[in-house]
Amino acid sequence: GAGVSQTPSNKVTEKGKYVELRCDPISGHTALYWYRQSLGQGPEFLIYFQGTGAADDSGLPNDRFFAVRPEGSVSTLKIQRTERGDSAVYLCASSLGGKENEAFFGQGTRLTVV
C-alpha cells in the first residue's frame, strides 16, 4: 500500500495476556518509530529503528515491552503480561531517516486491556 499500515486496528485482550502489534512501513523507509498515545495526550515515543537495529529504545516503559524489525521492514511491538494501564492507541511511523525527512504515521492500533 501507499501508506503505513498497522494491524489489527483494534485489539481487546485480558489482563496478563501477551499481544503483538504489527506495522508495515512505507516501502523504502529505513526509519521506523513506535509511539503510544493515551486519551487527550500527544504521542509518546517508545522506540526507533534505523534498518534492523533499535537505535533508540529509551521510551519503552519497562521490560514487558519489546519490538523487533528483523528484515528492516515490518516491525512488531510485543507486550507481555498486559496491564490495564497499557490501554492506549499504539502508533507507528516511518520515514527516510534524518531529522528533516517527514515521518508518516499509520492509523494506529487501539489496544484495550480488560
Partner 1 sequence: GESVGLHLPTLSVQEGDNSIINCAYSNSASDYFIWYKQESGKGPQFIIDIRSNMDKRQGQRVTVLLNKTVKHLSLQIAATQPGDSAVYFCADPREAGTALIFGKGTTLSVSS
Interface with partner 1 by CB under 8 A: which residues?
4, 31, 33, 35, 40-45, 48, 50, 55-56, 59, 91, 93, 97-100, 102-108
Q: Smallest gap, in angstroms, from Cβ of residue 33 to partner 1? A: 6
E strand spans, 53-108: 53-56, 65-68, 75-79, 88-95, 104-105
The residue behind cell 519503552 is: 60
Contact of 65 with 88, CB cutoff 8 Å: no
Nearer CB in complex with partner 1: 1/40 = 40
Q: Smallest gap, in angstroms, from Cβ of residue 71 to partner 1? A: 19
Q: Smallest gap, in angstroms, from Cβ of residue 81 to partner 1? A: 25
Phi, psi of 35 (to 5 degrees): -130, 160
Q: Smallest gap, in angstroms, from Cβ of residue 83 to partner 1? A: 23
DSSP one-letter code for 100: T
Query: Alpha carbon 13 to chain centroid distance?
Result: 17
Nearer CB in complex with partner 1: 79/92 = 92
Nearer CB in complex with partner 1: 89/113 = 89
